[in-house]
Structure 1
């Protein structure tokens, strides 16, 4: 018996699936190409009780999506909207404020599939088994793990990006290597996670 389809994707999963940045996703959501949602416990707004999946106003928390990576890791929502409704519900009581992190923000699966269809995106395979990847990302990740295990984290992210570029140059049979922006996009979440633990 097959499992039912996925219900939602996290923003990190969508970014990996579409090979884009979180800032790109926030930008597309901010102009209405799809909704970003989160799940909340019951809160009151006047006499109304709001709970479950609610739409987030991305422009209210846009600072979380700075391309330079200096934005806050969490924000408070001051308003939300029920799915398939147009009116925003204000959260006026400070005690009812809704705190969210990037990990709490989701895109519903039907919206992901609709967006992919409208933009004619090729869905990225879950595995490279039976297919030929353009670049050896798996090999690159293995080299990163070895590097961190043996020598620790580089002093700067720029140094790390340079090392990865050199690795691709050495391993590439065709001479084709990913551009610096693509490498940086893949390294940034790892870099941030490792620096937080230092």
Structure 2
């Protein structure tokens, strides 16, 4: 029986996976490309009690992300964000905030995979030592070619995208299915080229 897919990656795993510096990770997180999360024990933010998974602001922990690697490995966070909200909460108890280390910082696997898809990083990820792409794009290409060869193009591109999503779902028990936008980016050049030939 196969293990379920991963849910999180540490920052060090992501830097190795992408071949980048931890300062790059902080910058992309600050730009809203993904979130850096960690787990905390109970804290109070005025009248709110917060515990468990929270989002960190990398710019508030900037010394931890020095490109030269000379920064500390532990910092103090005084503001946090609940995973399901966008507003920032000031930690009032404990008054000095909460210590956090780089080793305990994570990125959700779904956000890692989405970032890779958005930046067409499949080849780079696949070529890394011990790294694998989260999706079987080569297999999808074969399925796509076979489908078009055997049945021709469907009426709409959306139908073809849905079929490819079903293909991923069938081969991963629904665990590894790219979103329609990601599949559309890969299918659109083929779709346009074949539609031009039909015109």
The two structures have a TM-score, normalised by structure 2, of: 0.61
Which residue does the alignment assign to 2:130?
127
Which residue does the alignment assign to 2:25?
25
Runs in 1 of length 4+ with deviation above 2 angstroms? 92-96, 123-128
Measure how far apart 1:93 and its partner are.
Answer: 3.3
Determine whether 1:74 maps to 2:74. Answer: yes
Aligned 1:53-92 pairs, distance under 5 A: 53-92=53-92
Is the partner of 1:41 in helix, strand or coil? strand
**Residues 166-189 of structure 1: CA deviation (Å, up to 9, x unaligned):** xxxxxxxxxxxxxxxxxxxxxxxx
Measure how far apart 1:95 and its partner are.
Answer: 4.3
* 2-structure distance, mates of 1:95, 1:47: 14
* 1-structure distance, mates of 2:94, 2:49: 15
Measure how far apart 1:94 and its partner are.
Answer: 4.1
**Residues 90-116 of structure 1: CA deviation (Å, up to 9, x unaligned):** 013344621011101110101001100
Please list every run of 5 or more consecutive structure 1 residues that lacks an aligned counterpart in the other structure.
129-198
Measure how far apart 1:127 and its partner are.
Answer: 3.2
Measure how far apart 1:42 and its partner are.
Answer: 1.2
Which residue does the alignment assign to 1:49?
49
What CA RMSD, in Å, does the superposition of the two structures yield over aligned residues? Answer: 1.6
Determine whether 1:6 maps to 2:2. Answer: no
The answer to whether the 8 Å contact 2:8/2:109 transfers is yes
Counting matched residue pairs gives: 128
Choose 1 or 2 for highest CA Rg: 2
Judged with a 3 Å threshold, the aligned counterparts in structure 2 of structure 1 residues 101 and 36 are, in CA distance, closer, same or farther, namely: same
Which residue does the alignment assign to 2:194?
none
Please list every run of 5 or more consecutive structure 2 residues that lacks an aligned counterpart in the other structure.
132-199
